[in-house]
Amino acid sequence: MNESLSNMCGHFSFILLGTSYITSDIFHLRILAMSGISLSILFQYYRPLPLFIPIRWNALFLITNAGMIAALLSERNEANKMSDNERELYDREFKQMGFTPVEYYRLVRAGRRRQVKQGSYLCEESQVQKNMYFLLSGSIEVSIDSTNNPTAEVSPSGSQQITRRRSRVASISPNSFIGEMTFLTYLQESRRSTSASTTCIANEDSEVLEWDFEELATALETEKNRGVKNALQAKLSNDLRKKLSAMTSTGA
């Protein structure tokens, strides 16, 4: 290889590596990095005096990127094996909000499916909330404490009981998040314990996807899940807007 071709490899190497810095897709970033490193090795080798120290280090970086690409391809292959129900949910609810199949796969795998019995509490007003949910089937009643001046009544046993009134503010149907406002607050306040602003009770036997706040927040902070975090925050914000709009319409 003559010197002019070697220099061209050097120039294109820096162009590709520079492009990788402004690429948000981690898979494309790895491809660009591998291509840039490969050209860099050619540039460093085909010189009057080969630069073996950077060549060896770049070879190590090349192998590392190749391993990461293999892992990403494996994950994409796993994402393509989603069940029909998971695929249908992705196409209907998550694809339009910017989730890629792999990002959706990571989000679903970070949670767990859970059966919720009728009458079970998913969150309770003014109590610390630790989980976020996505309702797959069933329905959830949302209520708030509407008691301005709670009264104390004496029970037959002689003990005092506080009487409170609850007002139903919404009913959550499938394909909606529960506890998303509390989770977003949890993220914004550096993972400090956050209390629920409403009480959510299952109207019937239901099924949910459940995420632990701490586990989900930790997973979203990793570099590979940056896209998942951005897409999830957009999805949660959109879900909140829909709920507030529905509540306003009902109130009107």
Examine the domain organization and report whether 124 and 26 are in the same domain.
no
What was the pLDDT predicted at 156?
53
183 close to 210: Cβ distance less than 8 angstroms: no
Q: What is the pLDDT of residues 75-85, one digit of tens each?
A: 788 778 788 88
Question: Of 56, 79, 102, at which residue does a domain stop?
Answer: 79
Residue 171: pLDDT above 90? no
164 close to 145: Cβ distance less than 8 angstroms: yes
Examine the domain organization and report whether 215 and 91 are in the same domain.
yes
Domains in the chain, number: 2
pTM: 0.66
Q: What is the pLDDT of residues 118-133, one digit of tens each?
A: 999 999 998 999 999 9
Domain boundaries, position 219: 84-147+164-251
CATH code of residue 122: 2.60.120.10
Residue 223 carries which DSSP code?
G
Helices 26-45, 3-20: crossing angle, 10 deg rounding: 160
Examine the domain organization and report whether 126 and 18 are in the same domain.
no
Examine the domain organization and report whether 177 and 120 are in the same domain.
yes
What was the pLDDT predicted at 165?
67
Check the CA dihedral 104-110-112-118 and report its sign: negative
Q: What is the pLDDT of residues 27-72, one digit of tens each?
A: 889 999 999 999 999 999 988 888 999 999 999 999 999 999 998 8
Residue type, 134: F
CA distance linking residue 222 with residue 213, whole number of Å:
15
Domain presence at residue 155: no
